[in-house]
Amino acid sequence: MTESPEVHQSTRTSAGRPLRVAIIGHAFMGVAHTHAWRTAPRFFDLGHAPEIALLVGRDEARTRAAAERLQIAEIETDWRRAVEREDIDVVDICTPGDTHAEIALAALAAGKHVLCEKPLANSVAEAEAMTAAAERAAASGVRTFCGFSYRRTPALALAKRFVEEGRLGEIRHVRAQYLQDWLSDADTPLNWRLDKDKAGSGALGDIGAHSVDAAQWVSGQLIEGVSAMLHTFVETRPLAGTAEGLGGSAEAGAPRGPVTVDDAAAFTARFDGGAIGIFEATRFAQGRRNANRLEINGSLGSIAFDFESMNTLEYFDARDDQAAQGFRTIQVTDAVHPYTDHWWPVGHGLGYGDLFVHQVADVVAALETDTAPRPDFADALTVQRVLHAVEASAQDESRYTAVDRRDSGA
């Protein structure tokens, strides 16, 4: 792995000057992040309005076409030149996982703040090196953020508030599912998300990482051990076809290549606060487009969240009169709820893209107040270590495997 050189002093923005951002990657996440950087100052009071200064991609023609569509004036085909530019304040990494560590380490060494998509890296060793570099850079005012965007769902943030307020009492059970179906067709073409060298893992890291982060964040407890299974249902896929969303359609007669990641992950977990958990992640659940679910049961009550109904939270209070007990549906659109006072009148819900807007607002607020951001690289490292333990357990006949939180000295 590339060693991180001495960290330069943090890029500072003078009063009134825009916060200049370089977005590395222009596919799904690059578009989502572009939308967010542009939209956040229109709804949130940001002292430094973000400005997308640069879009970076490997292929000049595709990058230029994306920049024209997204109305970004300047492009670059080498991320190294982007992170070295003195006029760039924030490097926003929206690339496959195999490139995260190298880009982030170089950006931190150049004194740039870094927002990196999840999962943080493709291995614990890379994540540890990134976190160690982030800790060194923090001494010079450089900040790091990891894009676990579902934390910014108002309903999920309200669930965390309820746990912190003690409304659920002692946390006993955590159930997390992330169900998608875009790989259900065995002839969906091979892409980078199905290549372990690029993606690190399959459903486990792509969507299961979100579940691990949400479960730990909302419950306030860390996972300390797991017993896991990973499975690949379709072991080869067409090498040529047309991309459609995350998946696509195969070219007739196209040769097939190997799938080297898991299609589905399932594991039980023990939390350091005494709770037990059940997790499932799959991209083969027919009819489930993006069912990101979390339920937490405590001694005094429960919460249940499903992103397919993202503007509501189900809440049960065991202290209610028995004759009136039952889950109540909270419409999380009121000004008293997280983030929602910046948007529309009560009852007018939000959507997927708005989570990234909240993320930008939180990033800019942390930079303006020079406060520690959450989730940062250290938070993301806790998730990476759980993913590693899941893989280790699955390779060892599902034996219970402790999450190793020892610092390797990276």
Same structural domain for residues 61 and 145?
yes
pLDDT tier for residue 95 given thresholds of 50, 70 and 90: very high
Residues 137 and 163 in one domain: no
**Is residue 404 domain-resident?**
no
For 11, which DSSP code?
Answer: P
Kindly state whether residue 108 falls inside one of the protein's structural domains. Answer: yes
Same domain, 215 and 189: yes
Q: Is residue 284 part of a domain?
A: yes
How much of the chain exceeds pLDDT 70, in percent?
95
The answer to whether residues 291 and 211 belong to one domain is: yes
Domain count, the chain: 2
CB 340 within 8 A of CB 154: yes
130-149 mean pLDDT: 97
Residue 303 within a domain = yes
pLDDT tens-place string over residues 318-336? 999 999 999 999 999 999 9
- Banded model confidence at residue 218, pLDDT cuts 50, 70, 90: very high
93: domain range? 19-149
Q: Which of 99, 124, 149 is the last residue in one of the domains?
A: 149
Query: Which residues does 148 contact at the CB level (< 8 Å), separation at least 6?
Result: 118, 209, 210, 213, 214, 217, 375, 379, 380, 383
Q: What pLDDT does 345 receive?
A: 96
Q: Are residues 95 and 179 in the same domain?
A: no
* In a shared domain, residues 122 and 187: no
Q: Please check whether residue 361 lies inside any domain of the structure.
A: yes
Q: What is the largest CA-CA distance in the chain?
A: 66
Q: Are residues 267 and 364 in the same domain?
A: yes
Report which of 136, 122, 129, 157 is spatially closest to residue 374, judged by C-alpha positions.
Answer: 157
**Amino acid 408: pLDDT:** 58
Rounded-to-integer distance, Cα 91 and Cα 112, Å: 6
| Statement to judge: residues 88 and 175 lie in one domain | no
According to DSSP H, which parts of 248-399 are helical? 352-369, 377-395
Average pLDDT score over residue span 148-160: 98
Q: Are residues 141 and 222 in the same domain?
A: no
At residue 8 the predicted structure's pLDDT band, cuts being 50, 70 and 90, is very low
Q: Quick one: tokens of 236? A: 């080869």
Q: What is the pTM of this model?
A: 0.94
Mean pLDDT of 230-241: 96
Residues 6 or more apart from 20 whose CB is under 8 A from it?
Answer: 50, 51, 53, 87, 88, 89, 90
Do residues 110 and 8 touch, judged by C-beta distance below 8 A? Answer: yes
Examine the domain organization and report whether 133 and 173 are in the same domain.
no
Same domain, 200 and 236: yes
| Cβ–Cβ under 8 Å, residues 85 and 111 | no
CATH classification of the domain holding 116:
3.40.50.720
Residue 186 falls inside a structural domain: yes
Are the beta carbons of 389 and 404 closer than 8 angstroms?
Answer: yes
